[in-house]
Amino acid sequence: MSKPQEHEVNIEVNDVQRTVPKGKLSFDDLVKLAFGANANPADGYRISYDRGHGNASGKLKPGGSIEVVEGMDFTVTGTGQS
């Protein structure tokens, strides 16, 4: 992993390393990181995460956001439902 700048963190989205600004990422942000800028979050996606604050894991619901930390791992999958 490359060393992020002071105001950035390295995360993984669907096994691809991404460097993002420190702070919160929204459900929509994560869908676009996983599937590109033209991805429509309304098409139906599921997001789970590991290695969050305090090594937490869980699911992010549509419309939600999460504070990202260094090394956090996200899995974004399409549900096939809108």
CA dist 8 and 66 (Å) reads 15
Please state whether the predicted TM-score (pTM) of the whole model is above 0.75.
yes
Please name each of the domains of the chain with its CATH number.
Answer: 8-78 (3.10.20)
> For the segment 57-76, what is each residue's pLDDT rounded down to a tens digit?
999 999 999 999 999 999 99
| pLDDT tens digits, 10-49 | 999 999 999 999 999 999 999 999 999 998 888 899 999 9
What is the reported pLDDT for 3?
65
